[in-house]
Amino acid sequence: MILCADVGNTNIVLAAYRGEELIFTSRLKTDSTLTRDQYAVDLHSLLEVYDIRPDEFSGAIVGSVVPQITTNLSQAIEMALGCTCMILAAGVKTGLNIAIDNPAECGADLVAEAVGAKNHYPLPVIVVDMGTASKIVAVDAKGNFVGGSILPGMRTSMNALVGSAALLTDFEFGSPKSAIGKNTADCLRSGTILGFASMIDGMLDRFKQELGNDATVVATGGLVHYILSSCRTKMVYREDLVTEGLRIIYNKNK
């Protein structure tokens, strides 16, 4: 069994795989103040919840966009599981040709989800990943990672708006009843959910103009389920796309 850790700006997604089978997936809060030992304790507690012994793991891989956490978490995994932890970085084989100006700029999450999409869906493929940032990445018909787009995340945008406008208060995300809101909360829901859905649809139209109208669209990320039903573009939802990509990369290098 291997452990895959996707370190994002808000959450760390942990997924355990036995072969190709996903055994469990869980989330920890991303916290750069935690020490290696504290993360190791959290991992031990998590395994107890799922009734899994540390010695069942033969390896692990970390893909991180938060450099302050990468070392502490990888060392914590090695302490907790007693196995070597691979870090997705330059020099690790991915099977993905990163055809952008500076491949070193490409985040580990983008690489992993592109690998996951390339290995599971028809090419060309576009990935929509909605979390702290909203990211759209493109893999062309030849399997090359050709670039993408980075937009503000839904919650990031709304936190900035509410924090800057005295009369606007935080609200619960949910499907708006209509585009025309009748109160402040409904107006915010309309602007957030329908506004982001329309933006994603518009961006995907532009991506398809450059990549091909037959491109498969795969959606992932912690916030994407809020807009899926409001988007007009047909998408395949896969929650574990990034960790699945990490699993594939680990097996190419083990």
The residue-averaged pLDDT of 23-30 equals 95
Helix, coil or strand: residue 23:
strand
DSSP letter at 231 equals: -
Per-residue model confidence (pLDDT) at position 118 = 97
Cα-trace Rg, the chain: 19
Do 235 and 117 lie in a common domain?
yes
Residue 63: C-alpha distances to residues 27, 43, 135, 154, 245 (Å): 14, 17, 16, 23, 10
Per-residue model confidence (pLDDT) at position 177 = 85
pLDDT in tens, 89-130: 988 999 999 999 999 899 999 999 999 999 999 999 999 999
Catalytic amino acids? Answer: 109
Quick one: tokens of 175? 């499907």
Do 8 and 47 lie in a common domain?
yes
The residue-averaged pLDDT of 18-36 equals 95
**220 neighbors 129 (Cβ within 8 angstroms):** yes
Quick one: tokens of 22? 């996903």
Total count of domains within the chain: 2
| 67 within some domain | yes
- CATH code of residue 73: 3.30.420.40
What sign for the dihedral angle of Cα 128, 130, 136, 137? negative
**Cα–Cα–Cα angle for 62, 68, 73, nearest 5°?**
40
| 184 within some domain | yes
Residue 22: C-alpha distances to residues 52, 81, 143, 147, 247 (Å): 13, 18, 25, 29, 10
pLDDT in tens, 164-206: 887 777 777 878 889 999 988 889 989 999 999 999 999 999 9
Per-residue model confidence (pLDDT) at position 146 = 98
**Which residues constitute the domain of residue 79?**
2-87
Do 78 and 101 lie in a common domain?
no
DSSP letter at 173 equals: -
